[in-house]
């Protein structure tokens, strides 16, 4: 959330159980278990997705405002919202092409409240980037705090093949987002976007700092594209035979490049392009 906010995203939080001061600095909907207000926002988001896709077909180089919707404990309140199922299906479509993004926070992967169908579960597994975070409990206070460790599952990858990841300190939870500024921008953004000619730090060192925050295969893909220094096609990456993407198909690599672009590590051009001709530029 910190990184998205600093990248210029308009962020809205849906949280019917928000406590005083939580999410301070962000637009919040649903206070006091106001499920009707949340349901209206779910409908509005789905409607905006359709509207943006219509605009995308009419406007050259369409680049609307970046929007991120955070749904806290979605599976606990989705059954109270009549538009939840449609909203969830919309989120599993390719909405990043129109700068729309959704983050779900939940203790479970259950689809309760969405019908729980096999088709929906398959779509979830194929379309969501999932991060399971671990917590540590203080033996004295019995309070849980972030362990900064977790398991990352890429879209289309089975749970048994998820990867162990370690989070950076800057990713720790904060109740307030009012104090965020360019000065506490994480290295993944600050070094990649704010570099100017004349900086004494070498390009190799900068690339290492940025890539260290990525897990495979994203790390290898970003480093390859960065070293090329220009737009690269999916086919070029595929033919590079990187060890991290061995056995992967071009549509898999395309999804990975989309994830890099979503996280601010580069730009992807998919306009009227097949899997092989998709372009990616690393920042």
- Write out pLDDT tens, residues 149-161: 888 888 777 778 8
By the 8 A CB rule, do 165 and 150 touch? Answer: yes
CATH 1.10.10 domain extents, the chain = 186-283
pLDDT for position 6: 73
CATH 3.40.50.300 domain extents, the chain = 1-185
Question: CATH fold of 186-283, please?
Answer: Arc Repressor Mutant, subunit A (1.10.10)
pLDDT for position 140: 86
Cβ-defined contacts of 72-75 (< 8 Å, 24+): 72/13, 72/14, 72/15, 72/17, 72/18, 72/105, 73/15, 73/17, 73/105, 73/106, 73/107, 74/14, 74/104, 74/105, 74/106, 75/106, 75/108, 75/110, 75/111, 75/112, 75/113, 75/114
What's the token pair of residue 109? 């992967």
According to CATH, the superfamily of the domain at 1-185 is P-loop containing nucleotide triphosphate hydrolases (3.40.50.300)
pLDDT for position 157: 77
pLDDT for position 149: 85
pLDDT for position 160: 81
Count of other CB atoms within 10 angstroms of residue 205: 10
pLDDT for position 120: 62
pLDDT for position 35: 96
- CA within 13 Å, CB half, 234: 21
pLDDT for position 61: 86
pLDDT for position 17: 94
pTM, two decimal places: 0.64
pLDDT for position 269: 87
pLDDT in tens, 204-221: 443 444 555 577 888 899
pLDDT for position 188: 44
pLDDT for position 172: 63
Count of other CB atoms within 10 angstroms of residue 196: 5
CA distance 135 to 219: 25
CA distance 278 to 216: 20
| Residue spans of the chain under pLDDT 50 | 113, 115, 181-209
């Amino acid at each position: 959330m910190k990184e998205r906010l600093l990248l210029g995203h308009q962020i809205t939080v849906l949280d019917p159980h928000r406590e005083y001061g939580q999410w301070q600095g962000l637009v919040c909907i649903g206070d006091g278990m106001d499920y009707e207000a949340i349901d209206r926002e779910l409908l509005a988001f789905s409607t905006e997705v359709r509207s943006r896709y219509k605009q995308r077909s009419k406007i050259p180089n369409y680049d609307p405002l970046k929007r991120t919707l955070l749904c806290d404990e979605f599976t606990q309140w989705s059954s109270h919202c009549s538009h939840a199922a449609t909203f969830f299906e919309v989120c599993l479509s390719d909405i990043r092409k129109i700068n729309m993004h959704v983050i779900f926070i939940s203790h479970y992967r259950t689809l309760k409240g969405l019908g729980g169908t096999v088709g929906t579960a398959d779509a979830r597994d194929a379309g969501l980037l999932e991060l399971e975070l671990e917590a540590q409990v203080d033996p004295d206070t019995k309070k849980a705090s972030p362990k900064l460790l977790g398991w990352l599952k890429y879209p289309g990858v089975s749970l048994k093949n998820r990867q162990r990841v370690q989070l950076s300190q800057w990713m720790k939870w904060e109740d307030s987002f009012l104090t965020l500024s360019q000065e506490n921008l994480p290295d993944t953004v600050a070094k990649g976007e704010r570099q100017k000619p004349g900086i004494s730090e070498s390009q190799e060192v900068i690339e290492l700092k940025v890539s260290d925050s990525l897990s495979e295969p994203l790390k290898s893909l970003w480093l390859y594209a960065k070293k090329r220094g220009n737009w690269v096609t999916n086919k070029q990456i595929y033919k590079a035979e990187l060890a991290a993407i061995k056995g992967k198909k071009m549509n898999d690599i395309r999804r990975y490049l989309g994830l890099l672009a979503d996280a601010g590590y580069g730009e992807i051009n998919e306009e009227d392009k097949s899997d092989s001709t998709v372009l990616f530029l690393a920042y």
